Amino acid sequence: MRLASCLLALSLAALSACAGPKADLSALGDPAPRLVGHWATSAGDQLYYGPLDTATKTGTYTLIQSRGHRFDHAYSVQSSDPSKQAIQATYLFADGDRASIAFELSADGKTLASTQEITGMRIATDATRVDDRTAP
């Protein structure tokens, strides 16, 4: 019984050490320029983010759905946090609607996690970097 208790305590200590705070990624710089490029979701959607205009902080956003439907919009960056490689942005849809979205880039820049709320539902999407193209 003591051995089992000791093993449990050691396991919990090891797990808590692994679950510590995330590393400070500030050395990677502003994450917004790293969003620019072509990304693909596991559902087969293709996402293209253009570079930000320095004056307006907006860029082009093109979505090609897996069924082939194309949507041309824009996005604007409200803030970014280099320490987490996180971006708070707004999608600016062609019909005038807007939607807030949060991005988090991996340290290696190969994966992108996004979260947005649509009609009260939280939607999370992961994407993988494909290349540097900003348009299909």
pLDDT given at position 57: 86
pLDDT given at position 132: 96
CATH no. of 24-131: 2.40.128.30
pLDDT given at position 38: 99
pLDDT given at position 125: 95
Q: Where are the domains of the chain?
A: 24-131
pLDDT given at position 25: 83
Entry pTM: 0.80
Our separate counts of H helices and E strands in the chain read: 2, 8
Name the amino acid, one letter, at 28.
L
Find tokens 């900003």 and name the residue: 134
Which stretches in the chain have pLDDT values below 50? 1-18
pLDDT given at position 21: 60
Over the stretch 61-89, which tens digit does the pLDDT of each residue have? 999 999 999 999 999 999 999 999 999 99
pLDDT given at position 80: 95
Burial classification of residue 30, based on how many CB atoms lie within 10 Å of its CB (0-12 exposed, 13-18 middle, 19 or more buried): middle
pLDDT given at position 129: 98
